[in-house]
Chain A
């Protein structure tokens, strides 16, 4: 049975990235939109690791390490903003934040 090629890993990563991108475009709940952003980050991480093995270069894995840290910081700040906004509101959709006032 053949081992999966780097190409197949990249195609799976592209598929998950596209699902995440469509999710950001379709869903209105900011929490779900954040989860879709996490999906896209993970897809890119997977392609980095697959290419790191293909090119036998550890730098790909180092970059994934940094992406993990930045993703954690991004989620912390994003959820903090959502909590701060939601304190004065009852519903949670991105459309409610369209007006330019606090």
Chain B
């Protein structure tokens, strides 16, 4: 056995010591846990993700049943932000493309859902949400083809145009899309099975708020399951190759453009689903719900959470949902009037963003991963030094 193939060789150790690009550290989790004996999860990707999925589902049901109706509604809100942020983090963190237009892709999904639910006898909800995904995917593919040729600020500009332009269509074709005041969405009724399920699990009242929260969380779990598998697969590795070393990737036979378009399409599909969930949770699809602010909020969520990490996207979205009411209530408790307290929320969010940029530029998850990798590398080199010392002595 040659030294090169040995896992304890200096060359292999060095390869992992090299710090990856700091900003995307969150994206670079190993494809399978390399440490031995530290994880109870299966080694193989699919079974491991299935176990995590089931655990998360159980945790979600517990969370939804012990929390108040208002917290249920916050979880529903969190789910659509997190689905869209998950898609965006795959695009930006994994593939290195920036998009300021995800709000518009969500609008495509939301309006599709609203139109389908407007029918006299609407189709089943899963079919409608699938349609939302398909429509957003088609829009995403069109944009992706253009985006694949653009870089950095030019790409940001093109997607920015999408964010500003697409909601305008809803105003222009106001006979179909209801113009400025949008389309009201009748939230679909919960099936009887849901009521009996909630009754058996907790005996709680199966309100429509709870039903929408469940729909959101189910969509979230499915989306993250698919995305997690995708980024750990050959596709994910190829995306990272395209992101980190274009020339090397091209030399290795990777068609840069096609892979970039694919990343955009996957990301758009997630945004479409997020839009569909948003439409039924908010009960409205209106242009003022899909302003540039939404696209920017998604971007800040994934940056704060850690670019490229799904957990980071979830944490960043949680910050978006839970921080403003928390700060506003804190402000009122300290004697600010309603208006001042409301103005405090965007201010504190800005401060959090700046602090995160200064002290944790890789985001929550990315920073923790960087720390862990550095510590591991240090342990590794210490062990090597020890071994070298022993040999020398």
Q: Are A and B physically bound partners?
A: no
